[in-house]
Every structure is written in structure tokens, then in C-alpha cells.
Structure 1
Amino acid sequence: MSPAYAAAVFDLDGTLLDSYAAIHDCLNHVLVAFGSPPVAPEETRRMVGHGLDALLRQALGEERRVRAVALFRERYAVVGPGKTTLMPWADEVTDALSRSGIPMAVASNKPAEFSRQLLDELGVLHRFSAVAGPGDGIPPKPEPEMVFRLVRALGVLPAEALMAGDMDVDVETARRAGLPVAVVPGGSCSRDELARARPDHLLEDLRGLLPLFGIPVRGG
């Protein structure tokens, strides 16, 4: 089984981590603080994926965005780790890739410090060579700059790195950055929505990544 790719760039929320409960908690905390009604979990899932600024601009408008972001970040630092878990097969797949010497990075629209904190709390941060998020001149996905920087850090060409995500925005980001892309339904986009985005690989779950790196899938 020969590998098709030499490195992996992962999205975070919905791909490696299930942090919807934490995001939902923080979003409603902010909404209530501004006197707005809370939203249902399903609505939160539909709103996420484009970064914190976009989420709170959509929820509360541009005039209240800056204060809302600050409140969200304060709350997330407290509740984020306790309300975040690994997605199914994320531990096993990233462990197998790491043991096989596949360099990996994370490209998330979550602030990078939160991403590192959560990955560390869940015991998998050491598997990733780099973790990036918006800020310090890096715009959120689907702008490709974040991915460009990660690919350079991994020491591979864009065509040699596979991007793995769970949303149509991940497909768009990969296309702009010149990377092939695999997607797994993670909660924000249905399988049909992902198929319409025309990824290179539409997987049933994260285990489908392993054969693309020449690693056999073991167990069920």
C-alpha cells in the first residue's frame, strides 16, 4: 500500500475535537449578557466554522462584536477544556500517523492558544508540528495564508499535504491553498452538503485517512 500523501493539515472543531458543547455554552453566555435570547444547539452548529469574529458578528452585529469576543474568550478559557472531547477515531488515527512519521499540523479558525490548550488537555498536542489560527496578520479560513504557513513549517509541497476537515469551508480553503482535501461529516455540514463541495475524498470517518498515507486500517 503506497502512500498518496506525505503530510496532513487538520481542521480542529468537528474534525479532531467535538467542542460544540463548549462553543454553545459560550455563545449563549454572551447572548444572555447582551440581553438576547439563547439559541438551540442545532443553531450553534449552523453558525460555527468561520471564526470567532464572524460567529459573534452574526449573532450580535458589528457594533457589539469586540466586547462579545472578549466575553466569549473569558468564558471559553473556563469551560472549554471540560466540555471538549476528541472526535471518534481522532486519537487512534493521529497516533497511527505520528507513529508512521507523518508530519501533522492544525489549521483552525479557533484562536491558536485555545487550540493548543485543548489539544494539550486531551493528550495529543505533541503529535502536531504546528498549530495555527487567525490573528497576527493571519486571516481566518477560507483565506489560505494559514495553510501556506503550515505547509512551509511541515517542509512539504502543497500537493504533498492532505487537508482534512468537516465543512465546505475546509474544501474551499484547501482549493485556494493548492492542497488536496478529505472531509468527514462532523456535525456542521451534512454528507450531501460535503459532496456538493466536491472534495477529493469524502470519508465515512477519520479511519479513511489511513490508507491515503499507506497505513492499513486495523480493527473496527
Structure 2
Amino acid sequence: MSSTLPQTVLLDLDGTLVDNFVAIHRCANDVMQIMGLPERSFAEVKKSVGGAAKATMTRLVGEANASTAIRLYLEHFPTVMYDGLEVYPGARELLPALKNRGIKVAVLTNKDHSNSLKLLAHLGMDKDLDGIFGTNLVPWRKPEAAFTHHALSQLKMPAGTACLVGDSPFDIETARNAGLASAHAVTTGSHTAEELLPHRPDTLHPDLASMAQELWGIQL
């Protein structure tokens, strides 16, 4: 049964709208090679994603090597960020479907703001968004409430009628911290249903197309 449509939908980027894991894995291993560290498998890198590049690289190389690894990663990522880039099923269609219903739609991501803008423009998805909010432009990141409130203030929309859609516990926590109406999770990213359920999302779906149909009655 479909529920009432929100006034604002905030969407995570990596693992929710797009699959950028090939580039993330390639960049991480390029950094490993430069630093003389052993390469990591695709599965290891994908599982480490969450909480922005700083957190990902710290998980992969440890605290002692983190500062150098993070700097190298951020410098190198723009050169590989389109490698293997794919849009998840339903993502491209969902954005205009929501906007055509009068809903504000924006991306809220811990990915670097500049890279997020370039990536979404490269895919032609920026035109269907009312806002793109990434890190390094403001001093906050998910799950800090101030980051979400900043995005909503730019959109001129209240928290109480907004929802967040994401693929990680960070996204669910982000929605709760900011007082959003709901948090919806998809399993297209780094976390399985079994890993997400303990964090109590309002709904859980295998992908965006299923979510749109089951939650809002939107056929993509």
C-alpha cells in the first residue's frame, strides 16, 4: 500500500543513485601502490565505503597512514571517477517522476561536493535535481543534523515533511538526527538487508524502482 508523498526527498549518491565502486576501488588501490601497501579486493573496498573518503581510507590503511592516503585519494579520484560508473535501475526515472509530482528532490552525500556536481552533470541527472549537497563546501557531513538542515534551508523546505533514501546506517542515522519524517533504505550499496534492519529504517527495499512502487505507488 502506498503512503503519502513527502514534500522533499533527499537521496544519497554512492550506493543509492549510482554505482561508483569500480572507480573507488581503482583509486584506493592506486593509493596503496603509491604508498607501498598491499592492494585490497573489490569486496574489501566496497565494504569500507561509508562516511566519506576520510573514513573509507582510514579503514583501509589504518590511522598511522591515513593522512597521506586521504590526501592522495582526494587528489587522484577526479582522474578515475567515471571509470565503471553506472546508474542504478530506476534512479534516472525516479528524479523526474518525483519532481513532476511537485516534490523537491536533492542529493545529500558525503562525497566531495565538486566531484558530486561533475559526476551528476556527466550523467545528465543534475537537471532533475533541486539541489546537490556534498562535503568540503560546508563544515558538516552526514550524519550531522547541521548538514541536513543546511540542505533543507537552501531548498526552503521543513524537516518534518522530508524523507531520506540511502544505502547505509549513516543515512538512517542522518534522517533521525535531523528530525526527518522518515528514512528509507535500499540494498544496492555496501550493506545487506541483515546489516540495515537493526538500524530500523522505516522501509527497506532491494532497489529504487521497488521502493517507488511499494512506498509511493510510482511505476518507473
Pick one of 193, 199, 209 that aligns with 1:191: 193
1:157 positional shift:
1.4
Matched residue, 1:92: 93
8 A Cα contact 2:18 2:88, kept in partner: yes
CA deviations 1:109-129 (Å, max 9, x no partner) are 110111111111011011112
**Counterparts in 2 of 1:55-66, with a 5 A limit?**
55-66=56-67
Task: Name the stretch that deviates more: 70-79 or 16-25.
Answer: 70-79
In structure 1, stretches of 5+ residues that fail to align are none
CA deviations 1:16-54 (Å, max 9, x no partner) are 010010100000110111110010111011111111111
CA distance in 1, matches of 2:200, 2:140: 24
For the residue of structure 1 that corresponds to 2:206, the secondary structure is: coil
Matched residue, 2:35: 34
CA distance in 2, matches of 1:158, 1:46: 30
1:148 positional shift:
0.9
In structure 2, stretches of 5+ residues that fail to align are none
CA distance 1:199–1:213, change in 2 (3 Å): closer
Task: Name the stretch that deviates more: 19-28 or 53-62.
Answer: 53-62
8 A Cα contact 1:5 1:212, kept in partner: no
1:168 positional shift:
1.1
Matched residue, 2:84: 83
8 A Cα contact 1:4 1:212, kept in partner: no
Figure out how many residues of one structure are paired with residues of the other and give that number: 218
Q: Which has the higher strand share?
A: 2
Q: TM-score, normalised by structure 2?
A: 0.91
CA distance in 1, matches of 2:216, 2:191: 28
1:62 positional shift:
3.9
CA deviations 1:48-83 (Å, max 9, x no partner) are 111111122222344543332232123211111232
1:105 positional shift:
1.1
Return the letter of the residue paired with 2:133.
A
CA distance 1:99–1:2, change in 2 (3 Å): same
Matched residue, 2:18: 17
For the residue of structure 1 that corresponds to 2:165, the secondary structure is: strand
CA distance 1:15–1:2, change in 2 (3 Å): closer
8 A Cα contact 1:166 1:188, kept in partner: yes
1:132 positional shift:
1.5
For the residue of structure 2 that corresponds to 1:21, the secondary structure is: helix
1:205 positional shift:
1.8
8 A Cα contact 1:104 1:154, kept in partner: no
Return the letter of the residue paired with 2:52.
G
1:136 positional shift:
4.3
Matched residue, 2:167: 166
